[in-house]
Every structure is written in C-alpha cells, then in structure tokens.
Structure 1
Amino acid sequence: MEYLPGVLAAYSIQLVAVLSPGPAVAMLLGVALSRGRASALFASLGVSFGALTIAALTLAGVGLLMQQTAWAVSALRLIGAAYLLWLAYGSFRKAAHPPTVAPAEMPPLSVTKAFTVGYLMQVTNPKAIVFWIAIASVGATDGAPAPIVALFLLGAFAMSLIGHAAYALALSASPVRALYHRARRGIEATLGTLFTLFAFKLATARS
C-alpha cells in the first residue's frame, strides 16, 4: 500500500500520454485504414511492447543516463527522425499514386511486419520517451521489490495495449474506412505532413 499513491500518480501521467494522439496514433491510422483491423491490432501490440521497453529501461535508470549523455540523446533523435521520415515518404507516395484497389481489398500486413512497425515507432517515439522520463521522476517504484516493479510494468503495458487497441478498432471501423476510401489522397498527404513535422520537431529538439 505504501507504493499506491506513487503508482496512481504514474498511471495518471501515462493515461494522459495514451489518450493524447501522437506519432503512434498517426501510424495506427494509416495501418488501420489501408491494411485493416487485424494489422492495426498487431501494430498496437507492437506499440505496447515498445512502451514496455521504454518503461523498463527508464525505470532501470537509462532515462536519467540519456538525460546526461548528449551523444545518446542525439543518436536517438536522429534514428527516430529518420524512421518518421520513412513513414512520411510512404504516406506521400500513397497520396501521389493511390493503388487501384479499395482499402478493404489491400492485403493485410504480416503479423511480424505489423508488430515491428508498431514496436519501432514506439521505441523511437519522443513523446513516449518524454512521458516515461516524467513518470520515472515520480519515483513510484523507488526502492520497491521486484514483484511490485513487475506488477507496475504489467499495468503500464495493459494500459498502453487497451488504449492503442481501442484506437485501432475505432480507426478501422467501416464508416471511417468508407471516408478513407473517398478521401484517401488527402488523408495520406495529411499523415505524411504530420510524420514530417514530427520528424523535424524531433531532429531539432534540444537535448
């Protein structure tokens, strides 16, 4: 019970992170609308494991180390920015040359590819990293035994999975897919623009 206030405070910060759209949600939008619900759900699973990776490393002290190590922060920013630009290129290419098939007829991503896309997005997601550094600063599990830390991480994973899976389900709904089919060029161009802006913001952010 002594850790409960800190855990609740940490989960409150994470809830804000999950509910506020960012690069991961933009990625899920593209996957859900173009590749279908199953691909989006596996991508959301990848996002959740990416969040779990960041959480575990941050609680282990890597977040504090990265705050104090300029080259590590710079390397992470460049990797994340490059990945976001790659996603932007894919979106702009779809906007310029949309396939002739309807979105519902496009083949889904393989489980491995969908999971990997979600995982790579999240582990290089500056928004997720910043939020987890903020969560670590609360000190919810400082001095806690391993079972408490494990339960905390499990709860964080569950919150991320539920939130991002909900996004995947909502964004792959038939009305949304119908809208996407009618306005595919504009939607893909918007996604490409968002990914480009996220990449620019990440690459030019101060350490």
Structure 2
Amino acid sequence: MEILPYLPGFLAAYGILAVAATSPGPAVAMLVGISMGQGRAPALVTSLGIACGSVLLNLGTLVGVGLILNDVAWAMQVLRLVGAGYLLYLAWGAFRKAAEPPEFRAVRVARLGWGRLWLAGVLLQITNPKAIVFWLAIASIGATEGGGAGIVALFLLGSFAISFGCHGAWALVLSAAPVRAAYQRARRGIESALGAFFCFAAWRLATARG
C-alpha cells in the first residue's frame, strides 16, 4: 500500500480536524462536566464514544461522496465549494467569539454507567447536523480519492485518533479551574487565529483543482 501520494490530502484533512477541535463546543462542555462530576475515566469513555461517532460519520460521508462521484464527474468541485463555504462559516463563528469571547461553562450530566456514557458520546456526534456538514467538508478534500480499502482504513484510524485525543485532552485539562481561567484569558487570540486559519483553508479548498 503506497501512502505517499495520499499524504498531502491526509495532512490537510487532519489539520482542519485538529484545528477545529481547538475551539471547545458543546461536546467538550459535556465532557468537562462529566470529568468534574464523575471523574476523568468516565469522561474518557465518553470521548471514546464521540470518536467512534466521528468515524461513523467520516465513513458515511466518504462512501456517499464516492458514490456520487462515480455518477457525476463534476460533483467534486461543487462539493469543494460547499466545503469551503462551511469553513468560512466556521471562520465567521471564530471571529465572533474573538470579538466577544463567551464564558466557558461545563454541562452537568447525570451519573451513567460506562456503556451509556459511550453511547451518549456516539449519539451526540452522529445526531449533530453541524458534525455531518463538517465531515462533508473534510470529504471534499478528497484525501482518500482513488485509494483502496487500506487507504480508507488508515484515514479513518487517524481521524479516530485525532478526535479521541483532542476531546480527551480537553476533558482532562479543562476540568482544572486554573486551566479554564487561563484558556478564557487567551480565548480572544485563539479564536482570531482559528478564524484566519479557516479562511485560508476555505480559499485553498475552493481554488483546488483535480
């Protein structure tokens, strides 16, 4: 299995995925609430569920996009424009947060067993319309285009690792009050940088050829 031809696409997709995880959303707020109320291990189990949900969405969008491209040759360029539009939407959201940084609040969650926490993480991800559109934007990069099952499996494995690593890290570090306070102070700069990155990524995606 030759991975080098796919490496640029992998890095582009993974970069967007990792940077997007730099801005904690509702999933992280829930994870921090679980970590503070039930401990870090249950929070990591929920992070595992979120990562599994991400893989399901990733696989679904890859298969769906592949089927469309088999019938409509020009669909990839349209999909790239849609993906670029969504990245601009993310940039707009980041700049809004930079202008008026919202206070990060943990979401308290009722005590659940590990199995139900894992399932809650999966459902949180696969029922989130924004997550579905985000993975469509990732699929529009075409990181696995032309690759076999091995390339797709490798891409899914990397996506799982990034999702679990980022969500798990936020659940652990933001459960400490001093870290949350430091993050809040730095949030304006962080969100500004995120907005600039998403604008750049949108431009690269919209102008990509091939």
Same fold at TM > 0.5: yes
1:18 corresponds to which letter in structure 2? Answer: A
Q: Contact conserved, 2:10 with 2:155, CA < 8 A, in 1? A: yes
In structure 1, the partner of 2:129 is: 126
Mean Cα deviation higher: 6-15 or 165-174: 165-174
Task: Give the superposition deviation at 1:156.
Answer: 0.5
Q: TM-score when scaled to structure 2?
A: 0.59
In structure 2, the partner of 1:137 is: 140
Structure-2 change in CA distance of 1:63 and 1:49 (3 Å) = farther
- 1:150-188 C-alpha deviation (Å, 9 max, x unpaired): 0010000001111111012113347679x9xxxxxxxxx
- The whole-number CA distance in structure 1 between the counterparts of 2:66 and 2:34 is 30
- The whole-number CA distance in structure 1 between the counterparts of 2:56 and 2:153 is 13
Mean Cα deviation higher: 38-47 or 28-37: 28-37
Q: Contact conserved, 2:31 with 2:171, CA < 8 A, in 1? A: yes
- 1:176-206 C-alpha deviation (Å, 9 max, x unpaired): 79x9xxxxxxxxxxxxxxxxxxxxxxxxxxx
In structure 1, the partner of 2:7 is: 4
Q: Contact conserved, 1:35 with 1:107, CA < 8 A, in 2? A: no
Residue of structure 2 aligned with 1:153, choices 147, 151, 156 = 156
2:27 corresponds to which letter in structure 1? Answer: A
1:55 aligns with 2:61: no
Q: Contact conserved, 1:17 with 1:131, CA < 8 A, in 2? A: no
Root-mean-square deviation (Å): 2.7
How does 1:1-207 map onto structure 2 within 5 Å?
A: 1-61=4-64, 109-173=112-176
Give the secondary-structure state (helix, strand or coil) at the position aligned to 2:140. Answer: helix
- The whole-number CA distance in structure 1 between the counterparts of 2:133 and 2:144 is 18
Q: Contact conserved, 1:29 with 1:171, CA < 8 A, in 2? A: yes
- The whole-number CA distance in structure 1 between the counterparts of 2:66 and 2:176 is 37
1:9 corresponds to which letter in structure 2? Answer: A
> Which consecutive segments of 4 or more residues in structure 1 shift more than 4 A?
62-65, 174-177
Q: TM-score when scaled to structure 1?
A: 0.60
Q: Contact conserved, 2:65 with 2:139, CA < 8 A, in 1? A: no
Structure-2 change in CA distance of 1:45 and 1:3 (3 Å) = same
Q: Contact conserved, 1:48 with 1:160, CA < 8 A, in 2? A: yes
- Gaps in structure 2 of 5+ consecutive residues: 69-106, 182-210
Work out the number of aligned pairs and report it.
140
Structure-2 change in CA distance of 1:110 and 1:175 (3 Å) = farther
1:165 corresponds to which letter in structure 2? Answer: G
- 1:69-89 C-alpha deviation (Å, 9 max, x unpaired): xxxxxxxxxxxxxxxxxxxxx
Q: Contact conserved, 1:33 with 1:171, CA < 8 A, in 2? A: no
Q: Contact conserved, 2:6 with 2:144, CA < 8 A, in 1? A: yes
